[in-house]
Amino acid sequence: MAEIERHSFDVLVVGAGGAGLRAAIAAHDAGAKVGIVCKSLLGKAHTVMAEGGIAAAMANVWKEDNWQVHFRDTMRGGKMLNHWRMAQLHAQEAPDRVRELEEWGALFDRTPDGLISQRDFGGHRYARLAHVGDRTGLELIRTLQQRAVALGIEVFMECTVTKLVKSDGRIAGAFGYWRESGRFIAFDAPSVVLATGGIGKSYKVTSNSWEYTGDGHALALEAGASLVNMEFVQFHPTGMVWPPSVKGILVTESVRGDGGVLRNSEGRRFMFDYIPEFFKAETADSEEEADRWYEDKTNNRRPPELLPRDEVARAINAEVKAGRGSPHGGVFLDIASRRTPEYIRRRLPSMYHQFKELADVDITAEPMEVGPTCHYVMGGVAVDPDTGESSVEGLYAAGEVAGGMHGANRLGGNSLSDLLVFGRRTGLNAAYAVVRRGDRPTISDEEIRAASEHALAPFSIEGGENPYTVQHDLQEVMHNLVGIIRTAEEMERALTQLAGLRERITRLSVEGHRQYNPGWHLALDLRNMLRVSECIARAALERTESRGGHTRNDYPATDDAWGKLNLHCRLDGEAVGITREPLPQMPDDLRELFN
């Protein structure tokens, strides 16, 4: 076998978004030799696209805010399916993680008295999102990236991991390839942290970019870990709907947080018609009260436009289905008639430019057209809440690829705080474990040969399936049959079609050679996209109720019995198996917070 490039680290971090960078910094600070691998350029992860802010109960704007309120909001937003311990650690530690970012050089927007400013977002009782205009992710990444580079952490950019390698049941490292040259590379590492982000590219309409093919989810599954809550995919209520080339691109929730309202084709502010019982007590029931809330949050209740995302997405879907949509199949999001042009340009500069440049719409003068877009996956690798370790020794996960934290639905702003809190915890624990374990497994030549052959398989088939056609067909299946509203009959059809696609991907063929070959890259990504799609469809079929991001037309009610169960996906040979497992028990002192 030809020699391949090889490196050795204590902790290998796969992914250079907020979770990966924060984990790498923590592992380095704990004394580990750390490497980061990322599929695209450093600084180009999804985290950079985050707009609205980082949720943390810092009480800078509302002194009534504290971690208990944040914990309660997060659990209620997740429809009580969140891992309570993750939600607790997240709410308790997020303020310190934001202050630490500031110490490291992040420049947040300020309150008039000079504190870090915090803005309103759906599902958060108080203004809680620390932000930098609508470019918060950019500042977060800039700060973490500068620190990681200054610490001398080695980064392998445009390098894709295609397999996790184990030895005697433990993680021994990872195998991958340089995207430009197509050459293989292996990393020996007793601790591997997955921080690979989301799965959005399995869907036709998505806010996610090309990298989000569920690689970390699939790698973990194949290594023997389980994925939890995969039926819960978040469809963000407001993506662009027009022109077709930009369909799905995110329109930040900050537009609604800053006063924007949703209207149907009749001009009606329809969200008042969709306030669920669960949120009635804390939601305004008249336009007057909703509008007063922006100035006086103590004596008024929140506008229904700021209900959790799943509620708003379903409402928009229902309006469009009822024939009250906008010309291009969405609804209207109007901030122009509610705020001055100066305010809009100052608070929402990216949105202003996005609509001007991509849709020729001036959002200071006219409403936007928006509709749901696949945005985030609540499901992910099941991990220990305190350490981030999966059920496979030495394999860790943090950020969007990890499951449990957000339950059935994530609140806006809770991802950036999740990345910081659990990125740090996971990096530290991955480093401590290397010292604790002492010995280091190594990757065998046999493993490398098998991983190389698997990666090269699409070159050995002539006249087989085209990866782009298969990707298109997969996205159609997921969009049409496992989308925002689901039924058993549709998901059974989806599973049959996914089985057909699984057959087809064994016959994928690519032309040319290994040097920068996007068709080959897609062929490798497709295996992961399909695995993840099967998990979503199987879990969604199994959960016969509606909750959070999972809406069943044939089981529209939320069922208390299901509120006590998580679904775990594991691989059994090539098949995805599902098990029902009880939710971890919340201690009484936390339970009290819901009385």
The H or E element spanning position 537 is: helix 518-542
Residue 244 near residue 43 (C-beta atoms within 8 A): no
Round to whole Å and give the CA distance between 23 and 415. Answer: 15
Q: How far apart are CA 51 and CA 73, in angstroms?
A: 21
Question: Does residue 530 touch ligand FAD according to CB under 6 A?
Answer: no
Packing angle of the helix pair 136-150, 84-103 (nearest 10 deg): 70
- Of 548, 225, 224, the closest CA to residue 376 belongs to 548
Question: Can you read off the two tokens belonging to residue 115?
Answer: 């504190």
Binding window for ligand FAD (CB under 6 A); candidates: 285-293, 406-414, 460-468, 488-496: 406-414
> C-beta of 51: minimal distance to ligand FAD in Å?
5
User: How many residues sit close enough to ligand FAD to count as binding (CB under 6 A)?
Assistant: 41
Three-state DSSP at 503 gives: helix
Report the distance separating Cα 307 and Cα 526, nearest Å.
35
Q: Are 555 and 571 in contact (CB under 8 A)?
A: no
Give how far Cα 72 sits from Cα of 49, 492, 556, 591, Å: 27, 36, 24, 9
Catalytic residue among 147, 309, 504, 527: 309
Helix axes 488-505, 467-481, angle to 10 degrees: 170
CB-nearer residue toward ligand FAD: 309 or 568: 309
The amino acid occupying position 583 is: L
Instruction: Give the nearer residue to ligand FAD in terms of CB position, either 17 or 190.
Output: 17
How would you class 141 by CB atoms within 10 Å of its CB: exposed for 0-12, middle for 13-18, buried for 19 or more? buried
Give yes or no for a contact between 287 and 413, defined as CB atoms under 8 angstroms apart: no
Amino acid found at 554 = D
> Closer CB to ligand FAD, residue 12 or residue 586?
12
Residue from 4, 8, 33, 40 touching ligand FAD (CB under 6 A): that is: 40
Catalytic residue check, 309: yes
> Using the rule CB under 6 A, which residue among 223, 316, 419, 532 binds ligand FAD?
419
> In terms of CB distance, is 141 or 567 closer to ligand FAD?
141
- Please identify, using beta-carbon distances, which residue of 5 and 287 lies nearer to ligand FAD: 5
Interface pattern 547-576 for ligand FAD (x via CB under 6 A): ------------------------------
Does 211 participate in binding ligand FAD (rule CB under 6 A)?
Answer: yes
Decide: is 161 part of the binding site for ligand FAD (CB under 6 A).
yes
x/- contact string, 248-287, with ligand FAD (CB under 6 A)?
A: --x-------------------------------------
Smallest gap from Cβ 77 to ligand FAD, in A, equals: 12
Shortest Cβ distance from residue 472 to ligand FAD (Å)? 21
CB-nearer residue toward ligand FAD: 245 or 585: 245
Residue among 446, 441, 457 nearest 1 (CA): 446
Residue 18 contacts ligand FAD per CB under 6 A: yes
> Does residue 379 interact with ligand FAD by CB under 6 A?
no
* Residues lying near ligand FAD in the complex (CB under 6 A): 14-20, 37-40, 45-47, 49-53, 136-137, 160-161, 195-197, 207-208, 211, 215, 250, 376, 399-401, 412-416, 419
Which residues belong to the active site?
A: 309
